[in-house]
A and B are shown apart, each in its own frame.
Chain A
Amino acid sequence: MAFDEYDSENRIFNAVGTRPVRPDGIDKVTGRAMFGADMSAPGMLWGAVLRSPHAHARIKSINTSKAEALSQVKGVVTRADFNADADEQDVLDNCMAGEKVLYDGHALAAVAATSRRAAEKALRLIEVEYEVLPHVTDVDEAMQPSAPVLRDVGGDESVPDGLSKNVMSMCEFGHGDIEKGFAEADLVMEKSFKTAAAHQGYIEPHACLASLGADGRGELWVCTQGHFYIRNLCADIIGIDSTQLRVVASEIGGGFGGKTTVFIEPLALALSRKTNRPVKIMMNRSEVFRATGPTSSTSMDIKIGMKKDGTMTAGLAVNRFQGGAYPGAPVDMGAMCSFACYALENVSSVGYDVICNRPKQAAYRAPGSPMAAFAVESVIDMMCQELDLDPVEVRLKNASKEGTKASYGPRWPRIGLIETLEAAKNHPQYSAPLGPNQGRGIACGFWFNHGGETSVSLALSQDGTVALSVGTPDIGGSRASMCLMAAEELGIPYEKVRTTVVDTASLGYNDVSHGSRVTYASGLATIKAARDAKQKLCGRAAKIWGIPEDAVVWEDGMAKPAGHNAGQHEPLSFAELCGDMGQTGGPISGHFEATPEGAGVSFATHLVDAEVDPETGATRVTRYTVCQDAGKAIHPSYVEGQFQGGAAQGIGWALNEEYVYGEDGRLQNAGFLDYRIPVASDLPMIDCEIVEVPNPGHPYGVRGVGETSIVPPLAAIANAVSRAAGVRMTELPMSPPRILKALKDQDG
């Protein structure tokens, strides 16, 4: 059996599937958990970052002498203090601007001073001469040949002629003959959609504490989703060897994809190197909004053909995503996801990656997929209304399943979309009566999930307990899941395992905690490391009993002789074998280092009831149910937590969250006051139906759950609101002014 394959349909789990208290729990309810900004060091300085007030400008000069003259200021860095030959030039330029600033909030200098307030005050003494350039912040405008150009290099070989140099690449997926498909349809519907940029909105601002000597040896404490990856990025950008920098991942106060790259970390390291003192930088909230990654804003055109019975005959999606000032908008992912839920014979999905004068987008939960799903699922809903068809039945009729061809190419392995649709159909919400001005929306969503490079080490202790070292920062309770999987595999109690997210000097490389990969990949690695340890324990038992290793089996947390031929021996418990390991051959650790590739895709179906006030356009989500395939829920409470969190973020994105830029290209709402994420009184309870269709690529059947949960909400809410208001909403957010205007336009 391959190393990452599903064991058994009929396995009975002991630990897995229970809901114990998380191991880091007490620290987090007593205030002693250490997050990014909570660490300090003797002699520490505070760093602050000077940011551009312009959307697009050439930097003619920077004069830091007045700031440096302040006694509290110990050092200033600009682009010249970084590695000119860095491989990751775009990442460097985003952290510290070179010739041009490309967006409001773009960093161009940093100061280290004896206090945070002194550092901030010193920023105002730095004199910068700008040549302000024309700017563009809208994706459709940025694609026009006449648009201001950010980078003269232009796009890659995939970009068709006649588009602006701001179009960095084009991609296309699909199969069949869409024109033939549209010809076969009884109804063809076309509609255009727009979505605003939404920020990940983690409550913890980026923060780090850096200490770096002139010899290139250093330490970095930081809140990040991937300390190994940012170690490599920082080393590249400041020009040191990666292993000379030891990075410790602090507790992380939310990431959702936004803490998968660097912003302030190379600046803190450069300031520390320059001052020979530890330097702490903590972004304020305004900096987080202006200078870290929101997701793309988008513009999309959808065309779908359908027969009267609901059979979809063809689908076309054109997706235009702006990704801020650098290439890399997740439009390829979006285009691949557009029609992933449906088995279409004729399908085409196109994507354009566009740059404009906004902060570089960062990954946000299932990057690209929620927007794509919003557009496609909205058109399907309109067609269901037009043809008077049940929206669940239409989706069931066309649903992707094992063996059908995905719109992006492959044939599906075992997947659980239909099961999530059935769960939604059978949920009481689906048949509950609706009140006046209420509407019900349904939508499906898909995400790939990811494996990635993974190393874990599982060390046994003489008292029969286990120290499990992982390298994937815990962003949502994953240490509890790791403990459960180790306990399951070894047959010992959950409490006997301690999982630690260790620093970059303590394990081999680990990919970032992204792509819904942690419970899948670090989980798989934990199981494999536990099996490695068990094999070693069986070897010790064999030695003790004087029988061959293959005559020993591991059952119920004990080594036992394998059948009568192995002889009569009292089973040896895990604790007994651990107690004697020094004498039976030495310390025992289990290891796993590999790149598991069996991350199972995940589907979800969401049900939303919404009520619209026809006089004000105000919307309230009154009921919400998430049905999602988790493969196997290791800790069901944290699986539900991912479902609920994704739904809540989707509600914010659908109804209120947006980056608002002024005519001057400056961000108008860089704070939680006007970037309106849902508050407790905005939301109903969020019901969860955990569907379990095992992933063949994981020993216990796990599928990542963190990202798929944000894919259906935009569409499901848009469908609910559109039905409640009686007018189709095609632009996000569906803010009250937009809804009221749509209602009036319809009446007028």
Chain B
Amino acid sequence: MAETVTVELFGSLRRHAGGAATVQVEAATIRDLLKGLGAAYPGLAPQLKRGVSVSIDGKIYTEAMFQPISPENEVVLLPRIAGG
């Protein structure tokens, strides 16, 4: 059941979302979240296509599309994390 979650955007994405540091999206999973963001803020689409990670309560998810999200979670959008 999708509820409204608050997502924090990193700085350079904010101007593509009306300048706000946080936006609200209906989402029950990471997949819903990314779909919803892309639909509501087309300016975010290039970054979403390049890849993002999502932090839920401090734990960073890079692949898990079906990871549940609820309104109580702290949700932060990040560039896709890689490593050496």
Contact = CB atoms under 8 A, between A and B. Distances in A.
A218 interface: no
- Which interface class (under 10, 10 to 19, 20 to 34, 35 or more) fits A? 35 or more
Contact of A257 (B62, B67, B84): B84
A604 to B, nearest CB: 15
B10 A365 contact: no
Contact of B12 (A158, A406, A514): A158
Contacts of B67: 597
Interface in A394-430: 406, 408-413
B84 A172 contact: no
Contacts of B61: 597
Question: What band does the interface of chain B fall in when counting residues whose beta carbon is under 8 Å from A?
Answer: 20 to 34
Contacts of B21: 175
B60 interface: yes
Contacts of A333: 79, 81-82
Contacts of A411: 57-58, 74
B82 A363 contact: yes
A113 interface: no
A363 B83 CA distance: 7
B76 interface: yes
**Chain A CB within 10 Å, residue with most, of B46, B58, B84:** B84
Contacts of B84: 200, 256-258, 260, 362-367, 514-515, 707
B16 A157 contact: yes
Contact of A172 (B11, B59, B82): B11
Nearest to B77: A409
Interface in A350-389: 350, 362-367
B83 A171 contact: no
Contacts of B16: 157
Nearest to B60: A448
A166 interface: no
Interface in B54-74: 55, 57-64, 67, 74
A514 B83 contact: yes
B10 A448 contact: no
Contact of A367 (B10, B57, B83): B83
Interface stretch (A89-97, A449-457, A461-469, A721-729): A449-457
A717 interface: no
A297 interface: no
A167 to B, nearest CB: 13
Interface in B1-33: 8, 10-12, 16, 21
Interface of B: 8, 10-12, 16, 21, 43, 46-47, 55, 57-64, 67, 74, 76-79, 81-84
19 contacts: A157-B46, A172-B10, A172-B12, A173-B11, A260-B84, A336-B78, A350-B11, A350-B12, A366-B84, A408-B10, A411-B57, A447-B83, A448-B83, A449-B83, A516-B83, A517-B83, A597-B59, A597-B67, A598-B59
| Top 3 A-B residue pairs of the complex, sorted by shortest distance between their CB atoms | A257-B84, A515-B83, A172-B11
